[in-house]
Amino acid sequence: MRHYLIVDDNRAFAENLGEILRDQGAEVTVAEGGGPALEQVARRRFDALVTDMRMPLMGGAELVHRIRRVDPELPALVVTAHVEDRELEAARREGLLAVLSKPVPIARLLDLLAVARRGGLVAVVEDDAALRDNLCEALRARGFSAVTAASVLETDRLGPVVPCCALVDLRLPGGPDGEAMLRLAAKYPGLPLIVQSAYDAPPPVPAAAVFAKPFDTAALLAEVERRHASPHGSRA
């Protein structure tokens, strides 16, 4: 049985959402704020976190940040009535499975929770915005969370949680070919690097796999699946 943690200062909303998930056969724990949520995560293993964004004392972005220091493998979904909230960008930098607007699209939420993967964070390092978004959506449909970077500099800003793998364009703004790979390899030793490139230049460090653009997305995702199943990171 999958176990979800719902965090929202609106108790009635959280309980209603929890009841819907229980009807689907899940176990649900409800917390009315960040403090109680952190206490729950310290005591129990959850399959996914569903949190509001705007809450007293501790907002959703800070909560995700702090929870990842306790349980780095926990996938997180944010639900919010304020989709333009600037705090969302901070939450996205932690790597989210999805951001859903209120009123919550229940069918979409159920689909995402059903496939959410612990330890399924993937770094998508790609400067082509359309391709980056398409990759993130394809990963999301398979339960992977994504954290993104569009340049060498943004690669330096990725958070401390180690991804299960990284999808890396060989040529990015802000540095020579392969510079992002070098920095990822230094930041996350042993991280499987899956290269995607339209150029023939060899990767500067060993790559787990290399896909020439345009690539077969299904084959790329199959490689991500293999890396997630490998013993590179813990799979609690």
Which tens digits make up the pLDDT trace of 186-207? 999 999 999 999 988 889 999 9
| Total count of domains within the chain | 2
In what order do the strands lie in the sheet containing 165-169?
Answer: 145-149, 121-125, 165-169, 193-197, 209-212
- Same domain for 133 and 98: no
- Same domain for 190 and 127: yes
- Same domain for 201 and 139: yes
| Confidence at 231, pLDDT banded by 50, 70, 90 | low
Helix, strand, coil fractions of the chain, as percent rounded to 5: 40, 20, 40
**Picking from 64-73, 77-86, 209-218, 221-230, which range would have the lowest pLDDT averaged per residue?**
77-86
In the numeric block, which tokens belong to residue 175? 């540095």
Asked whether residue 101 is assigned to any structural domain, the reply reads yes
pLDDT at site 85 = 66
Checking if the pLDDT of 233 tops 60, the result is: no
Residue with more model confidence, 90 or 169: 169
Residue 148 belongs to domain spanning:
121-229
Asked whether residue 146 is assigned to any structural domain, the reply reads yes
- Same domain for 201 and 104: no
Checking if the pLDDT of 8 tops 90, the result is: yes
Residue with more model confidence, 18 or 160: 18
In the numeric block, which tokens belong to residue 25? 């056969």
- Same domain for 135 and 94: no
- Same domain for 128 and 108: no
- Same domain for 80 and 36: yes
pTM: 0.92
Residue at token pair 């800070």 = 62
- Same domain for 134 and 59: no
pLDDT at site 84 = 66
